[in-house]
Amino acid sequence: MHLLIIGAAGMIGRKLAERVAATGLIGGEPVDRLTLADVIEPDVAADFSGTRAAAVADLTVPGTAEQLIADRPDVIVHLAAIVSGEAEADFDKGYAINLDGTRALFEAVRLIEGYVPRLIYASSLAVFGAPFPDRIGDEFHLTPLTSYGTQKAVGELLLDDYSRRGFLDGIGIRFPTICIRPGKPNAAASGFFSGILREPLNGLPAVLPVPDTLRHWHASPRAAVGFVDHAAGLDTGLMGHRRNLTMPGVSATVADQIAALRDVAGENAVALIRREPDETVHGIVSGWARDFDTRRALDLGFQAEASFREIIHVYIEDELDGALPS
């Protein structure tokens, strides 16, 4: 089958392409053709044995979506988006890319007669906004408190409607916060969730800007790629007309994260974390959801880690070749 990944230069897109190149499979089916698209040149997955192509493509440019799907890929993974902070800072750009870009893709698919690809749409926990219960269930309403979250929620509604009408076969995935993100620290408000583990695991100091009691919802990059892979092979007949799912994850406080770090890497690693309260960061992340009851996704076979120890071990296996630096 032919797999198209839009937003292939991002962290999940890259890891998904690597996994497909390594296994030759998506959703359990052989992939003989892989097309990677992003607004910047994506890696071409050089070790993929089938036909591969990389495209620089911007969904906001008229005709781009049509070109990308002209060869009718069987599975489309739509990860392209601008992030929360930028969508809040630039109202027009956020709506143009996250809403109109997504709609352009759905429209291009709709307008090809008889073409009904599996379309996996990256949504976000940002569709939820406080106040909410301590544990959010599958039937809680979407009340985003950012333009990004609004745009993602609109995409979910469109995905449901286009699927119901038979124009595409959609699954929307609300990713947990991805932890431990590989690479260097970044400026995102959520960056410390990964930083307080990643830096100490690499023998480097890290800053913790929030209280230990802060609770949030996490899954590893490997789990995130696994969600997409599972969605690609899922029988959507089991989902009815509700095609958007909150993904499973680990609900953990910062204290839980630090305890797991202590278990895995010892007290010296924990000592590298410096507490430096930042009210701005705390203000942002304290409004985020803390815990979810993801019964639907679990019943449909989606899987994440069971503990933060496991999340740390995934990082060590996937990013540090299986062992802590000596």
Query: Which residues are known to be catalytic?
Result: 148
Quick note: the x/- pattern for a copy of itself over 247-266, rule CB under 8 A, is: --------------------
Question: With binding defined as CB under 8 A, does residue 134 bind a copy of itself?
Answer: no
User: Is residue 50 within 8 Å of residue 35, measured between CB atoms?
Assistant: no
Q: Which is nearer to a copy of itself, 222 or 242 (CB)?
A: 242
Contact between 50 and 36 under an 8 Å Cβ cutoff? The reply is no
Positive or negative, the Cα torsion across 3, 66, 163, 100?
Answer: positive
Answer for the pair 189, 247: CB distance below 8 angstroms, yes or no. Answer: no
Stretch that binds a copy of itself, among 37-45, 159-167, 170-178, 225-233 (CB under 8 A): 159-167
- Closest CB to a copy of itself among residues 91, 276: 91
Distances 50 to 1, 37, 46, 180, 302 between C-alpha atoms, Å: 10, 17, 10, 31, 27
CB of 181 to a copy of itself, least distance (A): 27
Q: Is 98 in the site for a copy of itself (CB under 8 A)?
A: no
Q: Measured at the alpha carbon of residue 84, what is the angle toward residues 81 and 86, in degrees to the nearest 5? A: 85
CB of 60 to a copy of itself, least distance (A): 16
306 forms part of the interface with a copy of itself (CB under 8 A): no
- Regarding 139 and contact with a copy of itself (CB under 8 A), the answer is yes
Q: Write the DSSP string, 145-177.
A: SSHHHHHHHHHHHHHHHHHHTTS-EEEEEEEPE
65: nearest Cα among 119, 17, 11: 119
Among 22, 30, 41, 141, binds a copy of itself (CB under 8 A): 141
- The structure tokens listed for 321 are 């070749």
Which string of x and - marks every residue 205-244 that binds a copy of itself (by CB under 8 A)?
------------------------------------xx--
When the beta carbons of 162 and 193 are compared against a copy of itself, the nearer one is 162
Which of 11, 55, 145, 259 touches a copy of itself by CB under 8 A?
145
Q: Which of 174, 229, 302 is nearest to 19 (CA)?
A: 229
> What residues contact 72, with CB distance under 8 A and at least 6 apart?
2, 112, 115, 117
First-residue to last-residue Cα distance in the chain = 43
Position among 54, 122, 153, 210 found at the interface with a copy of itself (CB under 8 A): 153
Please list every residue from 32 through 51 that binds a copy of itself, using CB under 8 A. none
**Near a copy of itself by CB under 8 A: residue from 53, 157, 204, 306:** 157
Using the contact rule CB under 8 A, the part of the chain among 39-47, 117-125, 138-146, 199-207 near a copy of itself is 138-146
**Helix (H, G, I), strand (E, B), or coil: what is residue 218?**
strand
CA distance 294 to 230: 15
Write each residue from 103 to 132 as x if it is in contact with a copy of itself (CB under 8 A), else as -, in one continuous string: --------------------------x---
Structure tokens, 287? 């409004």
Q: Which listed residue (23, 49, 91, 276) binds a copy of itself by CB under 8 A?
A: 91
CB of 129 or CB of 226, closer to a copy of itself: 129
Which of 147/177 has CB closer to a copy of itself? 147
Question: Which residue is it, tokens 């890497």?
Answer: 265
Judged by beta carbon, residue 160 or residue 199, the one nearer a copy of itself is 160
> Angle at the Cα of 40 (from 60 to 124), degrees rounded to 5?
65
Task: Report the residue from 35, 150, 194, 220 that binds a copy of itself according to the rule CB under 8 A.
Answer: 150
For a copy of itself, the binding residues (CB under 8 A) are 91, 129, 139-145, 147, 150, 153-154, 157-158, 160-161, 164-165, 241-242
